[in-house]
Structures are given as structure tokens and as C-alpha cells.
């Protein structure tokens, strides 16, 4: 089987979704399953739906179009403000889009009118993270304008924290969003069906707070795919952190000194490598580089250490292990490593589909040593 490859265990993804959907439903919160880190994979989207997510969200209209072509049966939201140049595609393929700009809302309204559809709108509010969002003081005006636009339906409001600036979602900012929802409803006599509190970083707050106020939706990507919350990257209880793994193959293994020889300047990526003399090591090179993933975001198997990376190589100290040429090493990934691997054309994506032989079996022992072997129940993603 070709390497590098991402292996996606759909049963584990489904389990992660089911676990969080059940826990959050006790608090009156439903889940929008975010597929952007999976390049809008239809099989992964179906696993999320089997796990009980209420709707799907993606930041790219291309991914939503792909999900439609694959006939994934779900309500779909574009969770990034649409480009003016894409409004036709947005009203055709997304049920709802997240918005912050009146110009875009006007264009969506015209496009929806031409297409003879009603397009759902969630207005995003800026609550401190300085990402997208209408300033709270401007929300009322934007709502008033939105309600005047034909062929648009205001479905709710939302916010996004812990992204650009790492602002922690907590009782204060969530109460602020709830209060805004109440005030919009009172002022305009409308019902806001969606109050979307944020992303995976909201989980520590949502799972521990006594009341979630008006918040009735979270948009979850990382937690469903990687089983971790993004604030401290702690594993979430009861979730799999290895639903998605990255396998790479050894192309060189030689005993080499741990310190470079010669006069030193910047490396290819502008770093001045700070090498430590640990004597000779079995320097092991994998055919996995910055064109394939984010090397800083890889969790190697216990006892193995990543020493550095080039565009095409990952340099490892295998510790007490001996990894011959052709051996495979399996990594868990953080969000950045996953995103880059998913979008790299050099990385094959394979899914272990639910119900297939071998599905749900415990993962092979890491590191996998020996020639690359096809695992049972693994098949290429379309």
C-alpha cells in the first residue's frame, strides 16, 4: 500500500461523534459536524451523520459541492463568509451561510431570488477573538437590514473564539451571546433557531457548565476527528485520539553522528538547527516532508523522536528500535498536521469503512516494522 497515507477509521470517528452528541444533547446543544479538515470527505461526513450530528458545516463551497454530488443527505452550512464572486454557488449548494457583511448579504439575497430559493443566514458576532464577526453594537442594524432582504431567512447568530487570538470560550462571552440572542428576538419579534456558540474549543465550557444559556449549537471538527480539545490539546474522555493516523515509510537508516560537520548557517527553512550531541544515532529517514504534513504536529510512537524535517524528509531518532528501509511508522496528528496531510496530493487517503471486515479492530502495533502491508478492510477514498 502506498505511503505516505492517512488512515481514517470511520467507526472511531462515528464513536467520537456519538459520544459528544449524546453528552451535549443533555445540555440542549446539537452538533454541526465540520468537514473542512477532511477535505469534505463524503464517507467521513456519513460517519458523522451516523454519529448523530444534526447538520454539516464546511468553510469551502467546493467541499459542500462535493458532498452534494456524493448525495450526502444533510443540511449544509458554509461556515466562512461567502465571497461575492461565489454567491451563486453558495445559494445553490448550501442551505445556510455564516455572514458578517451587508454587501454579501445583499448579493446572496439577489442570487437567491434569481435561483428561486430561500437562503438561510447565521450572523456571526465578534466577541473578542478578532476573527470574523459583526461588532455587538452593530448587530441590531445588521439584523434590521437582513430582515428586509428578500429570499433570505435569518436563522440565528453565532460566534467563533479561540481561533485567531486564542480567546477562551467561557461563561462571560457565552452569556454575552445569549443576551444578544434574547435582545434581537425581543426587538424584532423573530425567533432565532440557531445560537451557535463556537468550535471544539467550547467543549471544556459546554461539558462543565451548569447551564448553556441560549447556546444550542456547536460546530465541531477537531474534537470529532482527533478526540482532543484545542485549548490545551488534552484528550477528551471517552474519545479516540487515533481515529486518523498518518503512515510513512523508511527510505534510509544509517548510523550517523548526531552533530553536523562544517560551518553552520541557516537550514533550508531558515532555522539555525540546535543540534545536541547524543553520540552516533541510527538516523532514520522517512519519505514524509513539509509538502505532505506539518512535521511539528506529528505524535510519533513511544520511544521514537522527530529530529527535523525538509520538504521531503522526516529525520528520526528511533531510540532502541531498528527500523529497516521499507518499515512503516504510524503517527497521530494535531490539527495542523491533519489539515496539511489531507490537502496534500502526495498523501493517499484510505478509510476503514464501517461494517467491513477488520473494521473497528484495534490498530496495528506501532511502529509497524516490516514491508508495507495492506491492512484488512482498508480501501482507497474516492
Catalytic residue numbers read: 36
Among 219, 240, 330, 352, indicate the residue that binds ligand PLP (CB under 6 A): 219
Among the candidate windows 216-224, 234-242, 257-265, 272-280, which touches ligand PLP by CB under 6 A?
216-224
E strand intervals along 235-357 = 244-256, 281-286, 298-299, 305-309, 314-317, 328-333, 348-352
Q: Are 247 and 330 in contact (CB under 8 A)?
A: yes
The least distance separating ligand PLP from the CB of residue 276, rounded to whole angstroms, comes to 34
Of 39 and 366, CB closest to ligand PLP: 39
| Gap between the Cα atoms of 273 and 54, Å rounded | 47
How far, rounded to the nearest angstrom, does the alpha carbon of residue 199 sit from its chain's CA centroid?
10
**In Å, what is the CA distance from 290 to each residue of 248, 272, 314, 347?**
13, 17, 9, 12
The least distance separating ligand PLP from the CB of residue 251, rounded to whole angstroms, comes to 32
Q: Which of residues 5-24 bind ligand PLP (CB under 6 A)?
A: none
Q: Which of residues 145-204 bind ligand PLP (CB under 6 A)?
A: 160, 199-200
The least distance separating ligand PLP from the CB of residue 204, rounded to whole angstroms, comes to 12
Q: Is 108 helix (H, G, I), strand (E, B) or coil?
A: helix
36 touching ligand PLP, by CB under 6 A? yes
Among 19, 35, 59, 368, indicate the residue that binds ligand PLP (CB under 6 A): 59
Among the candidate windows 41-49, 219-227, 244-252, 339-347, which touches ligand PLP by CB under 6 A?
219-227
The least distance separating ligand PLP from the CB of residue 7, rounded to whole angstroms, comes to 20
79 touching ligand PLP, by CB under 6 A? yes
Among the candidate windows 48-56, 113-121, 214-222, 349-357, which touches ligand PLP by CB under 6 A?
214-222
Among the candidate windows 42-50, 165-173, 213-221, 242-250, which touches ligand PLP by CB under 6 A?
213-221
Q: Which of residues 220-249 bind ligand PLP (CB under 6 A)?
A: 220-223, 230
- 353 DSSP assignment: -
Cα angle: 335, vertex 339, 342; to 5 degrees: 135
The least distance separating ligand PLP from the CB of residue 114, rounded to whole angstroms, comes to 27
User: Residue 103, exposed/middle/buried by CB under 10 A (0-12, 13-18, 19+)?
Assistant: exposed
Is residue 173 reached through a cis peptide bond, with omega within 30 degrees of 0 on the bond before it? Answer: no
Of 166 and 171, CB closest to ligand PLP: 166
Of 2 and 343, CB closest to ligand PLP: 343
| Gap between the Cα atoms of 323 and 23, Å rounded | 42
The least distance separating ligand PLP from the CB of residue 327, rounded to whole angstroms, comes to 32
| Gap between the Cα atoms of 100 and 360, Å rounded | 42
Of 36 and 93, CB closest to ligand PLP: 36
Q: Is 289 helix (H, G, I), strand (E, B) or coil?
A: coil
Of 222 and 328, CB closest to ligand PLP: 222
Cell numbers for 36, please give them: 473542512
Of 44 and 79, CB closest to ligand PLP: 79
Q: Is 356 helix (H, G, I), strand (E, B) or coil?
A: coil
Long-range pairs, 308-312, Cβ under 8 A, ≥24: 308/267, 308/273, 310/268, 310/269, 311/268, 312/287
Q: Which residues bind ligand PLP (CB under 6 A)?
A: 34, 36, 59, 79-80, 160, 199-200, 219-223, 230
Amino acid at each position: 500500500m502506498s505511503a505516505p497515507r492517512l488512515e481514517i477509521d470511520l467507526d472511531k470517528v462515528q464513536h467520537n461523534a456519538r459520544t459528544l452528541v449524546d453528552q451535549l444533547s443533555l445540555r440542549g446543544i446539537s452538533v454541526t459536524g465540520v468537514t473542512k479538515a477532511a477535505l469534505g470527505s463524503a464517507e467521513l461526513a456519513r460517519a458523522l451523520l451516523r454519529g448523530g450530528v444534526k447538520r454539516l458545516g464546511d468553510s469551502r463551497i467546493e467541499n459542500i459541492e462535493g458532498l452534494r454530488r456524493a448525495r450526502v443527505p444533510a443540511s449544509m452550512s458554509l461556515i466562512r463568509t461567502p465571497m461575492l464572486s461565489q454567491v451563486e454557488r453558495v445559494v445553490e449548494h448550501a442551505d445556510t451561510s455564516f455572514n458578517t457583511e451587508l454587501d454579501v448579504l445583499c448579493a446572496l439575497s439577489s442570487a437567491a431570488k434569481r435561483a428561486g430559493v430561500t437562503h438561510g443566514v447565521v450572523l456571526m458576532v465578534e466577541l473578542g477573538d478578532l476573527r470574523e464577526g459583526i461588532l455587538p453594537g452593530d448587530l441590531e442594524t445588521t439584523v434590521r437590514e437582513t430582515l428586509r432582504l428578500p429570499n433570505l431567512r435569518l436563522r440565528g447568530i453565532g460566534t467563533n473564539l479561540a481561533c485567531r487570538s486564542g480567546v477562551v470560550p467561557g461563561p462571560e462571552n457565552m452569556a454575552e451571546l445569549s443576551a444578544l440572542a434574547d435582545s434581537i428576538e425581543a426587538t424584532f419579534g423573530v425567533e432565532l433557531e440557531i445560537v451557535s456558540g463556537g468550535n471544539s474549543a467550547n467543549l471544556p465550557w459546554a461539558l462543565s457548565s451548569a447551564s448553556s444559556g441560549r447556546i444550542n449549537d456547536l460546530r465541531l471538527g477537531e474534537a470529532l476527528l482527533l478526540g482532543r480539545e484545542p485549548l490545551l490539546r488534552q484528550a477528551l474522555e471517552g474519545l479516540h485520539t487515533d481515529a486518523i493516523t498518518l503512515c510513512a515509510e523508511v527510505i534510509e537508516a544509517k548510523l550517523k553522528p548526531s552533530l553536523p560537520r562544517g560551518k553552520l548557517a541557516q537550514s533550508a527553512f531558515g532555522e539555525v538547527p540546535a543540534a545536541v550531541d547524543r553520540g552516533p544515532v541510527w538516523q532514520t529517514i522517512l519519505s514524509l516532508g513539509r509538502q505532505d504534513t506539518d512535521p511539528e504536529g506529528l505524535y510519533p510512537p513511544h520511544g521514537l523522536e522527530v529530529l527535523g524535517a525538509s520538504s521531503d524528509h522526516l529525520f528520526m531518532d528511533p531510540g532502541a528500535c531498528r527500523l529497516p528501509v521499507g518499515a512503516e511508522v504510524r503517527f497521530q496528528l494535531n490539527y495542523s498536521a491533519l489539515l496539511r496531510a489531507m490537502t496534500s496530493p502526495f498523501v493517499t487517503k484510505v478509510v476503514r469503512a464501517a461494517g467491513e471486515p477488520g473494521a473497528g479492530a484495534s490498530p496495528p502495533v506501532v511502529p509497524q516494522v516490516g514491508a508495507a502491508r495492506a491492512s484488512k478492510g482498508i480501501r482507497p477514498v474516492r
